[in-house]
Amino acid sequence: MDTIRTLGRSGIEVSALGFGCWAIGGEWQDADGLPLGWGKVDDEESVRAVRHALDLGITFFDTADTYGAGHSERVLGRALGKRRADVVLATKWGIVFDERTRTLTDRDDSPAHLRRALTASLRRLDTDHVDLYQFHIGDADPEHATLLRDTCEDLVREGLIRAYAWSTDDPARAAVFAEGPHCTAVQHALNLLQDAPDMLRLCEERDLASINRSPLAMGLLAGKRRAHQPLESGDIRSRPPAWLQGFGDGSGADPEWLDRVEAVRSILTSEGRTLAQGALAWLWARSPATVPIPGFRSVAQAEENAGAMAKGALTGEQLSEIEQLLGR
C-alpha cells in the first residue's frame, strides 16, 4: 500500500494515517460539568508522541479549537515547532468555549465567528495558515452553511486556509460544502463496527477525502478494554453523551460491541498486525479515499498506530470475511 494519500481534489498529499488530537487536549467539560475530554493527560508525553509520529512519517494532524478548550492546539503547535512546514494541519471551528474554565459554552455558525475562531486558532497553533479548516457543527442548518462555504472560499483567496471540509455524518450536508471548489474532504465516523457506505460513495463520486474519526471505535478496537471496566471520571466515555456508542450507560465498554471485536480478531491480527493496526488496515481497504485519524495519548500508542502503515491494507477477501462474520 502507498503510505501517501491525496486529500481529495486539493492534491494536498498526506501520510495515509493522520493523528487525531482530541485526547491530548486533556480535561474540559460542558456547561453541566459533564466531561468532554479523555481524562488527564501528560503534556510532555503528548509532545514526545507528536514528535515521534513525525519521525515515523506522519504528516497529517487533526485537532479542533475546542479540544481541551484551546489546549490541544497549543500543545500541537508547541510539539511541531519548526517542523510545522512539514505537515498538513487540520483544525475546526463552530463550538464556543471558555479557555479559563475549560468549559463549552455555546455553538456559533455565523461567518463572523468563523473569522474570529480562525484568528484564535492561528495564534494557538503558532502558524500563519491552516491547511484544512473544518466546520465542527455536524447537524447545522445546511442552507445557512452556504454562507460559511463562501466565507471559506474567501479565506482561501486570502491565503489563511488552503482547503476546508464539514465534519458531519450526514452526506446531504457534506454535499452542500462539496459545491465549493476548495472543499476537499468530509470528516465523519467510520470504523469496522460503524460503516458509512453512503458517505463513502459521496466521497468517491465527488473526489473528497474521507477523514475517519473514531477509527478505533474510541478505543474498543484497540483491544485493551474489558467489559464494564471502569473509566476515569474525567473521561467522556465514563458518562457518554447520546451520540457516543459502545460504552453503554458509562459503566464501561459494552459487552456486545466487544463480542463483535472478538468475532473478527483473528483476521485483524493476521500478518503480524496488532488489533489496532488491523482496524486501521480495514479502513484503508474500505476505500481509496479514506484517511483514518486515530487518537493517541502516549509514545507507545503513536508508535503502534504509525506502524500500521508499513503493514498496509487488508485484502478484499478479508473484508468480505469480516462482513460475513458480522452478519452484514
Ligand X SMILES: NC(=O)c1ccc[n+]([C@@H]2O[C@H](COP(=O)([O-])OP(=O)(O)OC[C@H]3O[C@@H](n4cnc5c(N)ncnc54)[C@H](OP(=O)(O)O)[C@@H]3O)[C@@H](O)[C@H]2O)c1
Interface contacts to ligand X, rule CB under 6 A: 20-23, 38, 62, 92, 136, 138, 167, 187, 213-219, 222, 224, 276, 293-297, 301, 304-305
Task: State CA 278 to chain mean position distance.
Answer: 18
Q: SS3 of 187, please?
A: strand
Closer residue to ligand X in complex, CB, 83/224: 224
Q: Could you tell me the smallest distance in angstroms from the CB atom of residue 94 to ligand X?
A: 9
Q: Could you tell me the smallest distance in angstroms from the CB atom of residue 303 to ligand X?
A: 8
Q: Could you tell me the smallest distance in angstroms from the CB atom of residue 161 to ligand X?
A: 17
What is the end-to-end Cα distance of the chain in Å, rounded?
26
**DSSP summary character for residue 39:** S
Q: Could you tell me the smallest distance in angstroms from the CB atom of residue 210 to ligand X?
A: 13
Cell output for 88: 498538513
Q: Could you tell me the smallest distance in angstroms from the CB atom of residue 317 to ligand X?
A: 25
User: What is the SS3 string spanning 153-176?
Assistant: HHHHHCCCEEEEEEECCCHHHHHH
Q: Is the dihedral of CA 83, 87, 88, 93 positive or negative?
A: negative
Find cell 477523514 and name the residue.
211
Closer residue to ligand X in complex, CB, 25/180: 25
**Residue 269: burial class (beta carbons within 10 Å; 0-12, 13-18, 19+):** middle
Q: Is the dihedral of CA 313, 319, 321, 323 positive or negative?
A: positive
Closer residue to ligand X in complex, CB, 165/314: 165
Closer residue to ligand X in complex, CB, 135/314: 135
**Cβ-proximal residue to ligand X, closest one:** 20
Closer residue to ligand X in complex, CB, 22/284: 22
